[in-house]
Structure 1
Amino acid sequence: MPRLGSRHGTSPFIWCAAIICAIISVAVIIGGIVIFVGYMVIHPRVPIISVSDAHLNLLKYDIVGVLQTEIRIVIRAENDNAKAHALFDKTEFKLIYEGKTIAYLRQDEFEVNKERSVYSEYTVQSYPIPLNPTMMQAIDYAVKQDVITFELKGGSKTRWRVGPLGSVKFDCSLSCDLRFRPSDHSYIPSPCTSAHKH
């Protein structure tokens, strides 16, 4: 008589692996639901960065065509959320004149509490900047018109701290003009807020 082939059951190791995978899958699904529900309940607003104040401390250029500046800029980090703290990280801005980057503004990670604002003051001094003929004409014109314009570009990585519910990340970015009067070095206020401001 022919022998029947023996039948082997599923290995206990495979059963354990399947059970563990199922448990992990359920945990991930539940975690996602909890984070989603928590977000809908807390519904935090996107943090905002803006220029609060500025001052042209120094504006110096000579007939050789070398420009030196020193500008004080106050950046406001605003957290309108009533139920969540906000963390700002990798905060960096570039100060630009006539398309040329003349200085960088950087800050380490910091936290803004619920419904609070933090003001950060930067005093940036540019290195001596050689001016080409076009830039010389631009600065001469600015002095005659008594308005000189610099560009400020950059931003910060932000995230909400919502306890055990996890965190949500956003980019807050600025791209605006800073205008000053060379005659008295005063700042001409104008809206300069992050793209997420509504």
Structure 2
Amino acid sequence: MPKLTLGHQRRTNPLIWLGAIICAILAVAVIVTGIVVFVGYLAVRPKVPFISISDAHLDRFSYDQAGILAVQLTIVFKAENDNAKAHAYFYDASFILGFQGLDIAKLVADPFDVSKNDSVQFNYLVESTPIPLDELEQNLVELSLRQNLIVFDLKGKARTRWRVGVIGSVKFSLNLNCELKFFINGSSTNSHCSSRSK
């Protein structure tokens, strides 16, 4: 009867074992990091800082028979950081004030900080140069005057960054899209709007 011989058994290359061990260590590290970040998030409960318009006043609205418009407004911005454990940094803030499709002014702010559980308020005094209006724009202004309601659009964005313990540095873009409505006497009918999600 013929003898059966077993072939030589191949051994696994040590480099493959080393690679498998490294992959296992990395997988465990990723899982542990995820758990730490999740627990840190639950403990800190970070909130997104936001910007808002806290007040606005129409100081001057001048329109003459030649169709020349000039306006002056005071707009009060407020940057808020509701985080009890995180300092917030605001930057790249830029907003366009418009009226009936016309860009009146561009409002920008230098980078600034807001401490934990704090807010910063700053005023813009917006004064336009005389703006010549075409016939359609003149009709829209005259309609606004008859209705005793002047409406401006304020659109723009800012970015914010803050660091929360083990979670690390977090960045967000804040968008503002407001209608600022005024009576002819300059008082605001509804000046408050916010980048905070509703």
Q: What TM-score, normalized by structure 1, do the two folds share? A: 0.79
Aligned residue type for 2:140? A
What is the CA-CA distance between 1:189 and the residue it aligns to?
Answer: 2.3
Listed as ranges, the matches of 1:11-30 within 5 Å are none
Q: In structure 2, how many angstroms separate the alpha carbons of the residues matched to 1:20 and 1:67?
A: 71
Q: In structure 2, how many angstroms separate the alpha carbons of the residues matched to 1:93 and 1:190?
A: 16
1:171 and 2:173 equivalent? Answer: yes
Structure 1, gaps ≥5 residues long: 1-9, 11-18
What is the CA-CA distance between 1:121 and the residue it aligns to?
Answer: 0.7
The match for 1:189 is: 190
Answer whether contact 1:172 1:194 (CA < 8 A) is retained. yes
- Partner SS, residue 168 of structure 1: strand
Aligned residue type for 1:105? L
Answer whether contact 1:172 1:196 (CA < 8 A) is retained. no
Listed as ranges, the matches of 1:91-102 within 5 Å are 91-102=93-104
What is the CA-CA distance between 1:195 and the residue it aligns to?
Answer: 4.3
Give CA-to-partner distance per residue, 1:24-61, whole Å, 9 cap, x none.
99877766654444333212111121111111122112
Answer whether contact 1:47 1:77 (CA < 8 A) is retained. yes
Q: In structure 2, how many angstroms separate the alpha carbons of the residues matched to 1:124 and 1:20?
A: 61
Aligned residue type for 1:137? N
The match for 2:58 is: 56
Percent identical: 49
The match for 1:105 is: 107
Going from structure 1 to structure 2, the CA distance change for 1:20 and 1:191 (only over 3 Å counts) comes to: same
What is the CA-CA distance between 1:81 and the residue it aligns to?
Answer: 1.4
User: Rg: which structure is higher?
Assistant: 2
What is the CA-CA distance between 1:150 and the residue it aligns to?
Answer: 0.3
Q: What TM-score, normalized by structure 2, do the two folds share? A: 0.79
The match for 2:7 is: none
Answer whether contact 2:40 2:166 (CA < 8 A) is retained. no
Q: In structure 2, how many angstroms separate the alpha carbons of the residues matched to 1:107 and 1:122?
A: 10
Structure 2, gaps ≥5 residues long: 1-12, 14-20
- Deviation larger for 140-149 or 39-48: 39-48
Q: In structure 2, how many angstroms separate the alpha carbons of the residues matched to 1:164 and 1:104?
A: 38
